Structure 1
C-alpha cells in the first residue's frame, strides 16, 4: 500500500508563510508554453487583494512543512435583487425613480485558489474550498461566488462538478493601454467635476443601489485611500457646467439633473499589486519596443505606442460606471479619457474595468481586444437559506440584469 499523505489546512501566518506562499504563486502563474499569461506580483503581501474587504481570511495547505496550496476569501453585504415599494422620503438606499428598494444579502467571495503543480489531483483544491466555505457559513454568508477564465477547464470543473457551484454571470474585462500622450477629455459641450466621497455616495445609493453586487458599505469603498476620486461628466452649458463653483451637492443635483450625465470612480490597483505579461515571443517584444522607440523619436505625432507589458506594470481600475441621457455614451468616453490621463500621471500602463456583458455603456469604453477578456465567468453557490432583506427567491436562479457593480476591493 502507498504512503498516506496528510494534508493540513490552517490559517495563513504572515510571519512564517510569506515566502513559501510567494513561491507557490510564482510557479502557478506560468501559463502553457507559447501562450500569453499574466504574472501577478502582490508586493510581498499575499492577502493584499482581500485586505480592504470588511471580513477576510486566507488559508494555506501544507504537507509536512511544505506549503502546497492556498486560498483567499472575503464576506460582504451586497444587493442581490430588488423589490417593489413605495417611494420614501430621505431614503439613501431607495431608487425612487423606479420605485424599487435593494434586496441585500451576505455574500462570500473565493479568490486566489492555488495548488502547486506537483501536488495536483490529490484533492487539495477541494479541501481548501470546503474549509473556506465552512468559515463562510460560520460567519453568516448566504451565497458564495468565484470568478475564473471561461476556458480554465480545471477551475470550472472543480467548482461546478465537485463543489456545487453553477455558472452565473459572464461579465467582460476591458483593458486599454495607457499611452505617453494625454487624451482629449472634454469639449465645448462637457465638463468633468470631481465629487467628494459623501456626494459620490449619495449618487451611488440613489441611482445604483438596486444593481447586482452593489456593496452596502459603498461609503467605505469611496473613502478608501485607494479610491483616487469619483468623477461626474455633465453638459457645459447646464446649471453646473461652469465648474465646481456652481456645484451645490448631490441632493440638489438629483432634484434637477441635467439631460445627460455620467459617473465613474477610479481605484489605484498599482499600490496593491502589479502585473507582467509572460510567454510573449521575441518578435512580439521587438515590435512593441519599436512602437515606443518611434514614439520617443517623433513625439509630436502622438502615436499610440505599446507600453512595456513585459515587465511589472501598474494599472487603475474604473468602477461604478453609469449615467443617463441621450449623450451618456459621449460622456462615458470623456470620463475614460480622463481616467487614462490620470493613470498616465501615476505611471500606470493600463486602465481596466469590468462590466456586464449586457451593459449598454460598454460601447463607449475604449479597450484592446488582445488585452481584454470578453467573457469572464462568475460561478455561484447557495450556502443556506436566503435571509436577505426581502426575499427574491434563490438568487442563483435569477436572470442577469443589464448591469453589475464590480467591487474594486476584489478585482
Structure 2
C-alpha cells in the first residue's frame, strides 16, 4: 500500500524510455487500440474519412528489419502505465539529383533521413506535452544515427497533429501526395490482351529501379532489401503484346516504346484496418453488392468489400513507366495486383503517389476511399548538411514523382 503523499509526488510525471518487447508489448498495443486513425489524437493515418466514418488501425507489428527505434511514455510512481509511444526509422534516400559535367546522365543526391512511423498518446493523457517529449526524444536518437532530416506523414485535416509538428516541433509542410485506394471486388479483373505481364526476379528488379528510378525523390538506397523482403510479393512489368522479356540488361539497352512497372507489398501481414460506426443501411447495401457480385461474377459489378470488420490490403510501390501507352499498361498491372489481392483475401489495393504524378490516370481508385492530399512534413536536424547541389532539402520544389517506401506504410 502506498501513501497518498507518494501518489501526489508522482502525479503528472511521465518518463520517456526505450521500448522493451517482452515487458511493454501489451501496454503498447493498448495505447495503439485507444487511438483511432484519422481523429484528433495525433495518429498517423493510412486511409482517412472512409465513408465519413472513423477508421481504426487494430494491429501493427513491423515484420522487417530496418534501423528503427520505438520509445514510449510511462507514468512515474509505483503503478506504471504506458500512455504514449512513437516509432521511427533512419535510412538513406534520394533528396535530389545533379548532372556532373563529365557525365551525360543525372546521378542521385543522397541524404540520411529519418521517418516518424507513428505517434500515439492515450486520450486520457493528452494536452500534457507528452507528444512533444516523445518527438524530441526520437529526434535525439535520429541525430545520434546521423540523420540530416526527419519527416512525418499526417492527415491535413488533423489539426492537433499539425499543431504539434508544425507549431511546436519546428516541422514545415513539404509534400502533398495522393493516397489512391481501389476496393477488391468479388470477381477477377479481365486483363487486356494488348499487354503482356512479366514477373521479374528481385535482382533484375533492383537493376531496373536503380537504373531508371534512383533519382526519384525518396528513393531508398537499400532498395535491394525492400525487394527481397518476405512481404514483397513480386515486381511486375507490363509490355506491349508480342514483346519478349530477354533479361533486364537487354530491356534497358533497347526498351519498347511503352512499358510500366509496379511492385506489390503485403500490408495485410503488418496491420489491419476497420471501419466503425457505419449505419445499418450502408452495411446492408455493401452486403447486397457483394452477394450479387459473387452470384453473377460475369456482370463485373463493382461490389463494395466488407470493411466493417478488420481487413487488410496490398500496397503498390515502385510505380513507373515510359512511353505514350505507359498509363494504359500501368492500368493492366493494377488489374493484375487486384487479382492477386482477391486471391489473398484482401479488401483493398492502395498506393501513394506524388500529386503531380503523370501516371495517375492509369491507377484505378475510388475517390470516396482515397485521399487526394496526404501531408508530409519535414524538419532539418543537422546544422551541417551534405546534400550537394540540392542545398536545404526542406526548401526544394516538389518533383512530379516520389518513391514511397512500403516499409513506412
Same-fold call, TM cutoff 0.5: yes
1:278-317 equivalent positions in 2, closer than 5 A: 278-317=276-315
Displacement after TM superposition at 1:256 (Å): 0.6
Corresponding residue for 2:161?
Answer: 155
**1:171–1:356 contact (8 Å) kept in structure 2:** yes
Corresponding residue for 1:8?
Answer: 15
Corresponding residue for 2:31?
Answer: 24
Corresponding residue for 1:101?
Answer: 107
2:396 to 398, 401, 404: 398
**1:329–1:364 contact (8 Å) kept in structure 2:** yes
Residues 299, 328 of structure 1: CA spacing in aligned structure 2 closer, same or farther, 3 A cutoff? Answer: closer
Corresponding residue for 1:276?
Answer: 274
Give secondary structure in 1 for the equivalent of 2:371: coil
**1:176–1:352 contact (8 Å) kept in structure 2:** yes
1:231 to 233, 236, 240: 236
Displacement after TM superposition at 1:295 (Å): 2.4
Residues 98-139 of structure 1 show CA distances to partners (whole Å, capped at 9, x for unaligned) of x20000000000121011111111000000000000000011
Residues 322, 172 of structure 1: CA spacing in aligned structure 2 closer, same or farther, 3 A cutoff? Answer: same
Give secondary structure in 2 for the equivalent of 1:326: coil
Q: Please tell me whether residue 61 in structure 1 is matched to residue 91 in structure 2.
A: no
Where does the alignment leave 5 or more consecutive residues of structure 1 unmatched?
A: 89-95, 241-246
Q: Please tell me whether residue 76 in structure 1 is matched to residue 112 in structure 2.
A: no
1:1-400 equivalent positions in 2, closer than 5 A: 5-29=12-36, 35-42=52-59, 45=61, 48=62, 52=64, 54-64=66-76, 65-86=80-101, 99-187=105-193, 189-238=194-243, 240=244, 247-388=245-386, 390-400=388-398
How far apart in 2 are the matches of 1:337 and 1:104?
34
**2:187–2:293 contact (8 Å) kept in structure 1:** no
**Normalized against structure 2, the TM-score is what?**
0.91
Aligned residues: 388
**2:186–2:290 contact (8 Å) kept in structure 1:** no
Residues 299, 334 of structure 1: CA spacing in aligned structure 2 closer, same or farther, 3 A cutoff? Answer: closer
**Normalized against structure 1, the TM-score is what?**
0.91
How far apart in 1 are the matches of 2:227 and 2:294?
37
